[in-house]
Structure 1
Amino acid sequence: MAPERNENEGENADNGVLATTDGTETTGIGIVEGATAQVEVTLPTAFDEEDDFDDDVVRGEDVTLVQLEQLPAERDEVRGEAPATTAVPVASVSAASAEPAPKASVSAAASAAAAKTAPAPKTAAAAQASSSVASTSATAPAASDASRAELDHHERVRPRTSEITLQSRRLGDFEVDRESSDLLTADRLLDPAHVVRPEPEGAWRHLVYTLSGRRINLGDSKRARARKQLEDRIAAPLSGGARFVPVLSRKGGVGKTTVTTLLGMALADAREDRIIAVDANPDRGTLAERVGRTSGKTVRDLVRARGDVHGFNDISQIVARDHTRLDVLASDADPHVSEAFSDADYRDVAEVAAHFYSVVLTDTGTGIVHSVMEATLEHADELVIVAGLSIDEARLASETLTWLESNGYAERVRSAVVVLNTSRPGAALVRADELDAHFRSRVRAVVRLPYDPHIASGSAISFRDLQPETRDAARELAAIVVEGLRASSVAA
């Protein structure tokens, strides 16, 4: 049965006020244009412990004009008759959005949502709170004292979602005005006008700096800046474990031991980690003699004592160290030793060296098919091939690359470095540019090592006594090797 209308239909024809609210609990309220309606909605005011008021309550001040516009126009049947439609006056919505309504009052849209979602009162003794929507007013008559107190209680208890902020903070971030110690950087605190610059490198630049009482600092020379850039490339960090770099040559006398020594000195002079050069020549190598400092121990002693090496102090008593901090492990020079240095011996040495050093250089013998060479290539992360500036020396170096490619080391050949060593003074008999072009077609880089009388003498090599061009070539070789090791670690 449809609800009866008020008798005074003429007076309230425009408002369409219903005479009773019996059917509003189950009737949806639609919104259409061209009509205005007032509906009395019964809301529960008494709650027991089983009512979930926090999930069902609709607050009038939370309903905005945008939300009202997004409410769907629902059409439900009212007791068998045509769907009842009502409309919320525009003036009422505007006023409600401009000025928040009291907590005990709800707008027509809130009443419609409450009629659909709020559960019916479970007891007949529950108080009723009425809220009517006026066409030009944003507030409704005040609810009863019991209803107001109950709503205020739930407003205090129910958490506001918009007020909850979850943030992940460090211990030092809880107070806004406090700063942690990592913010006290040199760039922030030091005044650039008073920062003491290091002494410039370069003859006349240092002279100007000294004559001006250290007040005029023109900075480093071009050569000094280039050297420091090279050192920065060499000192780049290497991730992972120890890296093995063997120096190969199929022909003796091309400077393989010299290249191993210069490469090790350039690495040790610029890097902070430990560098070792191992003489793995089974036929009496001379690597320790090029350093000039011997410990009297050889690789054979390390093989015998490998089980007793528990710290770096144990291995430091076996190796020799030069002024650049390069450690050298000499080969066995005793002519009475009947058993040559084998692949098993090299593996034992490599296992111990990998625990204490970042880069392990290996000065190999001339026999590429020797058993030690097999163990050396198994550990190799990068190869350095030495070639002399003669036809036969260049051919042997190129054939070495071919042999490596044919025996499963083609990838190592493509990332290898070839050193063209000038061991004789004067102009070379072959065209160095042609050799450079040939080897660049097969390997990653080519480095030319100039002639140096300090090296040609055959005595111990002092890195600081080398000619500047020789030191620069050694540093360039070291930088290229480090860059190759870093690239291989990224690829792996």
Structure 2
Amino acid sequence: MTQTNTPKPGPRPDRAPSFSKGSAANAAGESGTSPGAVSASDASGVAPAADAAAAGEISVVTVSDAQDRTSAGSLPAVGGTVQQEWVQQAPATAAIPVVTAGPGSVSAPGTEPAGADTEAAGTAAVDIAPDTAAAAEPVPGEDVKDLPGRRERPEGPEPASALTADRLLTRAAAAPVSGWRRWLYQATLGYVNLGDSDQVRIQRAMEHRIATRLGERTRYVPVLSRKGGVGKTTVTTLLGMVLAELREDRVIAMDANPDRGTLSDRSPGRADFTARQLVKDRFTVNSFAQLSNYTARDGSRLDVLASDTDPTVAHAFDDADYRAVTDILGRYYSIVLTDSGTGMVHSVMKGTLEKADAVVLVSGGSVDEARLASETLSWLEAHGRQDLVAKATVVINMAAGNRTLVNIDEIEEHFLSRVKNVVRIPHDRHLAEGSRIRLGQLKPATRAAAVELAALVVDELQQA
């Protein structure tokens, strides 16, 4: 707010207002008259302004042109009441009119007078837009932290937890992992980075889905097939290896085939004990270190619990034994895969299906293999397990390759009418060898299919 100096009573009527020499010279140069003429002609115009100031009114007189003098009542108000007054300046400072335009005005820099009273001195006020004024200067009574463009910081010293990597480190785009994009990145010494292809990004998204946490309790996934030789053990090993490689928790594959199982033959590593021996020692196994003596792990993060090689001993593995073993495994593993046998009416199958959170049904690429797999779904529905059929994942194992006359697309379309997910695993020479499986030796298409299978299974386990 501009301070107003009230003139002393009884001024001489023929006395002109005092102003600096520079101001008079400028006025005389613009109007073509002498300074004395300006003072004499303004004598009659200053008295009404002084009376208005004494009465509490505010007026403006423009001095840019000495001959064009405008009365205060003829000027429009700017942002409210506007006032002008003549001020006695120091000899080195020109007299500048002071215009007050409400709270949205900003004083021009460098116009502060040398006198003691800076508010009464000639400081020019510039009218600006209301939005700009609000952003440039806080409104009285408004909290400063609410102003736009200001970074909110807590009062007082910051804790050590405020020094995060996201705040302190400058993130650089990751280099492409393969292909011509990788070659271009290396050839330009990192200056040209086009990022990964869409296929790589989709693969990373699937891997992220596989690594999702499933909660506190253990999930059980049996791998079923009513016909031998369709690759049930191969699918169990592939699924288990991908889950164990991309997840942070523990995954185990258990051979529950009443006949001679081959899960340990397809998985790396050897164990000194089997599932049957674990049943005998179940009351003495009280730690994961003790349980590790019964499982095999060599070159893979997947643990394997093998069955006995003697079919007569393996046949004694019944439903009670399966439940006892899975209860022990449930203490230390997050996902338990079960390589089931071909007999759906075997006693082990009862406990397998009762504990199952999701099922994987394996079908071959032939007519009889596809028909038996579809009949397995019908058997589950007939025994009241429609819930497992609704979230089942059918795997079409193309072990024989694509050279047959069977229309695989028709088989896939048939299963999609009954289940939610269908995955086709292409023919791979490494899988056809029938020996130990190593993920690094698989074709890219085979590995991508295994990753897709693992992602679909984890999606179903999240909803279980």
TM-score range, shorter chain: 0.5 to 0.7
Match of 1:433 in 2: 409
Match of 2:157 in 1: 178
Change in 2 beyond 3 A, CA 1:305/1:454: same
In the alignment, does 2:215 pair up with 1:239?
yes
Please provide the CA RMSD for this pair.
1.9
The separation in 2 between residues aligned to 1:397 and 1:288, in whole angstroms, is 24
Structure 2, unpaired ranges of 5+: 1-153
Report the secondary structure of 2:244's partner residue.
Answer: helix
Letter of the aligned partner of 2:199 in structure 1? Answer: R
Letter of the aligned partner of 1:273 in structure 2? Answer: D
Residues 136-215 of structure 1 correspond to what in structure 2 (within 5 A)? 176-192=155-171, 195=172, 197-215=173-191
Question: Could you give the per-residue CA deviations for residues 297-319 of structure 1, whole angstroms, max 9, x where no partner exists?
Answer: 21112112211111111111110
Change in 2 beyond 3 A, CA 1:330/1:220: same
Moved more, 207-216 or 301-310: 207-216
Divergent runs of 4+, >6 A: none
The separation in 1 between residues aligned to 2:409 and 2:353, in whole angstroms, is 29
Residue among 370, 374, 389 paired with 2:350: 374
Structure 1, unpaired ranges of 5+: 1-174
TM-superposed deviation, 1:398: 0.8
Change in 2 beyond 3 A, CA 1:447/1:304: same
Are the aligned partners of 1:245 and 1:360 in contact in 2 as well (CA < 8 Å)?
Answer: yes
Change in 2 beyond 3 A, CA 1:485/1:309: same
Match of 1:399 in 2: 375
Residues 88-167 of structure 1 correspond to what in structure 2 (within 5 A)? none
In the alignment, does 2:399 pair up with 1:423?
yes
Report the secondary structure of 2:294's partner residue.
Answer: coil
Change in 2 beyond 3 A, CA 1:416/1:453: same
Change in 2 beyond 3 A, CA 1:339/1:406: closer
Are the aligned partners of 2:223 and 2:359 in contact in 1 as well (CA < 8 Å)?
Answer: yes
Are the aligned partners of 1:201 and 1:221 in contact in 2 as well (CA < 8 Å)?
Answer: no
The separation in 2 between residues aligned to 1:289 and 1:439, in whole angstroms, is 30
In the alignment, does 2:333 pair up with 1:354?
no
Residues 9-28 of structure 1 correspond to what in structure 2 (within 5 A)? none
Report the secondary structure of 1:259's partner residue.
Answer: helix
Q: How many residues align?
A: 312
Match of 2:319 in 1: 343
Residue among 239, 242, 252 paired with 1:266: 242
Question: Could you give the per-residue CA deviations for residues 360-379 of structure 1, whole angstroms, max 9, x where no partner exists?
Answer: 00000000000000010111
Match of 2:389 in 1: 413
TM-superposed deviation, 1:179: 2.6
Report the secondary structure of 1:447's partner residue.
Answer: strand
Report the secondary structure of 1:317's partner residue.
Answer: helix
TM-superposed deviation, 1:321: 1.4
Letter of the aligned partner of 1:403 in structure 2? Answer: W
Match of 1:444 in 2: 420
TM-superposed deviation, 1:217: 3.4
Match of 1:48 in 2: none
Match of 1:306 in 2: 282
Question: Could you give the per-residue CA deviations for residues 259-299 of structure 1, whole angstroms, max 9, x where no partner exists?
Answer: 10111111111110000000000101000110131113211
TM-superposed deviation, 1:229: 1.3
Letter of the aligned partner of 2:155 in structure 1? Answer: V
Question: Could you give the per-residue CA deviations for residues 209-255 of structure 1, whole angstroms, max 9, x where no partner exists?
Answer: 33333444332233322221111011111113000000000000111
The separation in 2 between residues aligned to 1:315 and 1:418, in whole angstroms, is 32
Match of 1:22 in 2: none
The separation in 1 between residues aligned to 2:448 and 2:315, in whole angstroms, is 40
Are the aligned partners of 1:273 and 1:357 in contact in 2 as well (CA < 8 Å)?
Answer: yes
Change in 2 beyond 3 A, CA 1:475/1:298: same
Match of 1:287 in 2: 263
TM-superposed deviation, 1:396: 0.7
Are the aligned partners of 2:362 and 2:397 in contact in 1 as well (CA < 8 Å)?
Answer: yes
Question: Could you give the per-residue CA deviations for residues 128-161 of structure 1, whole angstroms, max 9, x where no partner exists?
Answer: xxxxxxxxxxxxxxxxxxxxxxxxxxxxxxxxxx
Letter of the aligned partner of 2:448 in structure 1? Answer: D
Change in 2 beyond 3 A, CA 1:407/1:427: same
TM-superposed deviation, 1:178: 3.1
Change in 2 beyond 3 A, CA 1:380/1:336: closer
Letter of the aligned partner of 1:239 in structure 2? Answer: G
Are the aligned partners of 1:390 and 1:429 in contact in 2 as well (CA < 8 Å)?
Answer: no
TM-superposed deviation, 1:418: 0.7
TM-superposed deviation, 1:480: 0.4
Match of 2:363 in 1: 387
TM-superposed deviation, 1:180: 3.0
Match of 1:333 in 2: 309
TM-superposed deviation, 1:426: 3.1
Letter of the aligned partner of 2:284 in structure 1? Answer: D
Are the aligned partners of 2:329 and 2:336 in contact in 1 as well (CA < 8 Å)?
Answer: yes
The separation in 2 between residues aligned to 1:339 and 1:478, in whole angstroms, is 30
Letter of the aligned partner of 1:475 in structure 2? Answer: V
Moved more, 180-189 or 279-288: 180-189
Are the aligned partners of 1:277 and 1:362 in contact in 2 as well (CA < 8 Å)?
Answer: yes
TM-superposed deviation, 1:339: 4.8
Identity of aligned residues (%): 54
Are the aligned partners of 1:319 and 1:327 in contact in 2 as well (CA < 8 Å)?
Answer: yes
Residue among 439, 446, 449 paired with 1:470: 446
The separation in 2 between residues aligned to 1:353 and 1:268, in whole angstroms, is 15
Question: Could you give the per-residue CA deviations for residues 163-184 of structure 1, whole angstroms, max 9, x where no partner exists?
Answer: xxxxxxxxxxxx7323333333
Question: Could you give the per-residue CA deviations for residues 41-89 of structure 1, whole angstroms, max 9, x where no partner exists?
Answer: xxxxxxxxxxxxxxxxxxxxxxxxxxxxxxxxxxxxxxxxxxxxxxxxx
In the alignment, does 2:207 pair up with 1:228?
no
TM-score (norm. length: structure 1):
0.61
TM-score (norm. length: structure 2):
0.64
Are the aligned partners of 2:269 and 2:299 in contact in 1 as well (CA < 8 Å)?
Answer: no
